Every structure is written in C-alpha cells, then in structure tokens.
Amino acid sequence: MRKFKLVFAAAMLPLAACSTVGEGTDFGLYTLVRSKPTNVGNGSVTVVPPRPWNKQRRFFFFDSVRWVEDWTLNGPYLDGITFVTALPSGQYLIRQRKSDERQVPKFRSDMTAPEVAAMLETAFRVRGGAVDFRTLGLQPRQFLGYPGFQFDFEHLDNDELWRKGRAVGAVVEGRLYLILFDATRSHYYGNALPDFEVMANNARIRSS
C-alpha cells in the first residue's frame, strides 16, 4: 500500500497550503476541513480539529469502508488520522478479497484491547507494508466517555522509513469506535500529535 502512496507523493506534499483556500474546496483527492465541529466516518461521531485538515477520498489505507474516514495535513505518506465510527461486529476494517493469502481479521464485539491492537498490527503488516512493527504501550484510557484504551506503536515500512502511531478507542454497545494517528517518526509525528490529542479528547458520539 505504501507503494501506491508513493505514486501520489508529489501531489500530496503541498497540502499544508490548502488551509488558505476557501472552505469546502474540492481538490479531487482532498476536501478542506475547517476548525469547527465536524461529523466523521458514518456521521455518528463529531470532532473539532484545532486547525484545518484535509479529508481524503476513500481509496488509501482503510479504503472504501463506510465506517472509516481518513484525514491528513501533509499527505498520507507523511501523516494521517483515521476515524473508525461504530464499526459493527463481524465487519472488516479494510476491503479484502477472500482469495488473499494474508487476511486482516474481522472485528468482534467481544474483542479485548490487546485483540484490537493485534488486529491493527495485522492491518499495518498486510496492507500498510510494515516489515517491522513494535508495540510501545497499551494502557486503559477513557474515550467518548467510556472505558477504552490507548495503543502506541511504531513500524518500519518497505520504503525504509520509520513511522510512529497512536490509537485511542473503545467498544461501545458492541461497536468499535477508534481514532488512529500515524506519521513519519521524524518531525511529522510530533507536529500533529497535539491535534490528535485534542480530537481524541473532544470526540463525542452524536445523539440520535
């Protein structure tokens, strides 16, 4: 999957300049997201980004899944946030063919935090091109007002670049809610981690 991203690297790198363009502008691959309450994923969760981000079309890492949405500041090759909202039990995080030799497991409503972390690791190895994946920490954390977890990790991809990530999530009424941040370990992770923390803390499930 990293190889696919490299094809678009030249187009992705200037995205930081998008914050100067009018709200709602469509860049083909991206749509500008202003710093205001924004519904993400399937619309069941609202977050408030502390600065403008760029919403990606659904064809990168967690592509074409109705409960998943991807944002980036400087292009997904450098940094990105993935929102998983109300993923039902028995569904996959990613699209995959039954014929694929390596499979990312389905989410199950009875999954523990270590099992969700293992599912994410498999996704990075199978679809993200990670050749080395290291768990840095897994600990309890409140998310959306429910008992959840924080998963910290880093991975070396087949482009020989180390990336670092953090996922905060919870299983609420049998569905998975999660925000995942992943960026190059040098500079971009530290630059956007404060934004991730703000959104992880202000995320709310919308009342029906």
Spatial contact of 74 and 188, defined as CB atoms under 8 Å apart: yes
How confident is the model over 92-110, as pLDDT tens digits?
Answer: 887 666 666 677 889 999 9
Spatial contact of 169 and 84, defined as CB atoms under 8 Å apart: yes
Q: How far apart are CA 107 and CA 90, in angstroms?
A: 6
How confident is the model over 74-87, as pLDDT tens digits?
Answer: 998 899 999 999 99
For position 178, what pLDDT does the model report? 97
pTM: 0.83
For position 181, what pLDDT does the model report? 98
Spatial contact of 86 and 173, defined as CB atoms under 8 Å apart: no
Per-residue pLDDT of the chain (208 residues), as tens digits, is 443 333 233 333 444 434 433 333 444 688 999 999 999 999 999 999 999 999 987 544 444 578 999 999 999 889 999 999 999 999 888 766 666 667 788 999 999 999 999 999 999 998 778 999 999 999 999 999 999 999 999 999 988 999 999 999 999 999 999 999 999 999 999 999 999 999 999 999 998 6
φ/ψ region of 145 (left if φ > 0, alpha if ψ in -120 to 50, else beta) reads left
Q: What is the mean pLDDT of the chain?
A: 84
Closest CA to 86 of 110, 105, 109, 106: 109
Q: How far apart are CA 87 and CA 74, in angstroms?
A: 27
How confident is the model over 108-118, as pLDDT tens digits?
Answer: 999 999 999 99
Give long-range contacts, CB 8 A cutoff, 24+ apart: 60-66.
Answer: 60/1, 60/4, 60/5, 61/1, 61/94, 61/123, 61/127, 61/128, 62/93, 62/94, 62/123, 63/94, 63/95, 64/95, 65/91, 65/92, 65/93, 65/94, 65/95, 66/42
